[in-house]
C-alpha cells in the first residue's frame, strides 16, 4: 500500500473514530488511565448540586470496572455452557454405547448358552471308549477335531462376553463421571449468570441516576478516552508497519462481522440478532469455515499469537490483561466488536483499548 494512500486512510480512520464511530459511546470495559480504588469513587445522584466533570470521570471509570467484571463473568458463563454442551453430548454417546453393549451382551449370552447345551448333548463316553467302539477311526478323529474347534470357539465367545461386560461397566463409570462434571458446570453457569446480572444491574442503576445532560457529558468523556488511546496508538507509527492482506477465509470473516454492525450487545449471545464480543468473533470464523473457541480467554490461549506489525484483516485482537474482550481487526487501524451491554456492534479504533495480544484463526 503506498505511503500517500496509507496517510489518507489513516487520517480517515482517525476522523471516523473521533467524529462518527466513537460518537456512539462504545468503549469496552477498559480505561486508558489507572482506575481508582472503589473507595475513591462515588455515584452522583440527580440532585440540585452540579455534577462536575471530575465526578463524571469517576462514574465513567466505575462503569468501566462494572462492565469489565460483567465481561469476565460472561466469559465464565460461556465457558461453562460450552463444557456442559460437550459433556451432554458425551453422555448421549455413552448412553448409545451402553444400549448397544447390552444388546450385544444378550446376544453373546444366548450364543454361549446354545454352545453349552451342544457340548452337554455331545458328552457321554470317554474319548478312548469312542475310539475303540468306532468302526472308522478317521471319522472319530474328524469328530474330535470339530469338538476341539467348538471348545475353542466357546472359549472365545466367553472371552468376548467378559470383555463386553467390562466395557459396559466402564461406560457406566464414564457416564457417571461426565454427569458429575455436567452438574458442576451447570452450577458454575448459574453462579456466573448471577454475577453478570448483578454487575450489569449495578451499572444500569449508576447510569440511571444521571440526568440527560450528564449522560451526554459522560458519553463525551468516553469518546475522549477512546480518542486519546487511539491517537497514542497511531502516533507510535505502528500502522506504517501493518500491511498484511486478508486470506479468503479472513475476508469471509470480516464480511460477517461488518454485516452485524448496529446489532445489540447481549451477554452470552452468538447471534443472529444479538452478540457478545466472543460470540461475534467465533460466529464470524465459523461462517468462514474455521471453528474457534467460544470465549475470548480461550481464543487467546489456543489460537496462534501474532506480532501486531504482522496483523492482517480477520485476525483477532485480545484486550485487557485478563483477556476479557476481543474484537476483529478489519484493516487500516480499525476493529469491529460488540462492546458491552447497552451498546451495539460497532467500528472502533484498534488502539482504543489496552491490547493484550493478536491471535490468528487461519494459520
The catalytically annotated residue of 59, 70, 246, 277 is 277
According to DSSP, the residues that pair with 336 across neighbouring strands are 328, 347
- Which residue is catalytic, options 227, 325, 340, 360? 325
- Three-state DSSP at 49 gives coil
Return contacts of 53-59, CB within 8 angstroms, 24+ apart: 53/217, 53/221, 56/214, 56/217, 56/218, 56/221, 57/221, 59/206, 59/210, 59/218
Q: Classify strands 325-331 and 355-360 as parallel, antiparallel or unpaired.
A: unpaired
User: In whole angstroms, what is the distance from residue 351 CA to residue 39 CA?
Assistant: 29
Active site residue 68: no
Q: What are φ and ψ of residue 315, in 5° steps?
A: -65, 155
Instruction: Please provide the distance, in angstroms rounded to a whole number, between the alpha carbons at the two ends of the chain.
Output: 23
d(CA 110, CA 116): 10
Cβ distance 344 to 13 under 8 Å? Answer: no
Distances (CA, A) of 11 to 148, 238, 239, 317: 90, 14, 11, 21
Residue 228 is placed in which grid cell? Answer: 486519546
Q: Which of 223, 263, 294, 337 is catalytic?
A: 337
| Cross-sheet strand order for the sheet of 346-349 | 304-306, 355-360, 316-319, 325-331, 334-337, 346-349
Q: Is 337 a catalytic residue?
A: yes
Q: What is the DSSP letter of 35?
A: P
List the one residue out of 287, 280, 254 whose CA is nearest residue 265.
Answer: 280
Q: Are 66 and 157 in contact (CB under 8 A)?
A: no
Give the residue numbers marked as catalytic.
277, 325, 337
Amino acid at each position: 500500500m503506498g505511503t500517500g494512500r496509507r496517510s489518507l486512510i489513516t487520517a480517515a480512520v482517525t476522523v471516523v473514530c473521533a467524529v462518527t464511530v466513537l460518537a456512539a459511546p462504545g468503549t469496552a470495559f477498559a480505561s486508558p488511565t489507572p482506575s481508582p480504588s472503589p473507595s475513591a469513587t462515588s455515584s452522583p445522584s440527580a440532585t440540585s448540586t452540579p455534577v462536575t466533570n471530575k465526578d463524571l470521570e469517576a462514574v465513567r471509570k466505575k462503569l468501566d470496572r462494572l462492565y469489565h467484571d460483567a465481561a469476565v463473568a460472561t466469559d465464565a458463563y460461556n465457558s461453562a455452557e460450552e463444557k456442559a454442551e460437550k459433556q451432554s453430548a458425551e453422555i448421549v454417546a455413552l448412553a448409545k454405547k451402553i444400549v448397544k453393549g447390552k444388546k450385544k451382551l444378550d446376544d453373546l449370552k444366548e450364543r454361549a448358552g446354545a454352545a453349552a447345551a451342544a457340548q452337554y448333548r455331545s458328552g457321554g463316553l470317554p474319548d478312548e471308549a469312542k475310539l475303540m467302539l468306532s468302526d472308522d477311526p478317521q471319522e472319530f478323529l474328524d469328530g474330535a477335531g470339530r469338538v476341539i474347534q467348538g471348545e475353542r470357539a466357546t472359549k472365545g465367545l466367553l472371552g468376548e462376553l467378559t470383555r463386553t461386560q467390562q466395557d459396559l461397566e466402564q461406560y457406566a463409570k464414564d457416564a457417571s463421571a461426565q454427569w458429575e462434571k455436567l452438574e458442576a458446570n451447570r452450577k458454575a453457569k448459574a453462579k456466573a449468570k448471577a454475577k453478570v446480572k448483578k454487575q450489569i444491574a449495578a451499572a444500569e442503576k449508576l447510569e440511571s441516576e444521571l440526568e440527560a445532560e450528564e449522560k451526554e457529558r459522560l458519553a463525551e468523556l468516553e469518546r475522549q478516552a477512546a480518542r486519546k488511546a487511539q491517537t497514542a496508538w497511531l502516533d507510535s507509527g505502528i500502522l506504517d508497519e501493518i500491511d498484511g492482506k486478508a486470506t479468503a477465509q479472513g475476508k469471509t470473516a470480516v464480511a460477517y462481522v461488518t454485516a452485524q454492525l448496529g446489532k445489540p450487545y447481549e451477554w452470552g449471545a452468538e447471534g443472529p440478532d444479538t452478540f457478545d464480543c466472543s460470540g461475534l468473533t467465533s460466529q464470524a470464523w465459523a461462517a468462514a469455515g474455521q471453528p474457534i473457541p467460544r470465549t475470548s480467554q480461550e481464543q487467546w490461549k489456543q489460537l496462534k499469537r501474532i506480532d501486531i506489525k504482522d496483523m492482517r484483516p480477520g485476525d483477532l485482537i485480545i484486550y485487557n490483561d485478563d483477556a476479557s474482550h476481543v474484537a476483529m481487526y478489519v484493516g487500516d487501524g480499525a476493529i469491529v466488536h460488540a462492546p458491552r451491554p447497552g451498546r451495539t456492534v460497532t467500528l472502533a479504533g484498534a488502539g482504543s483499548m489496552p491490547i493484550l495480544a493478536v491471535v490468528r484463526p487461519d494459520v
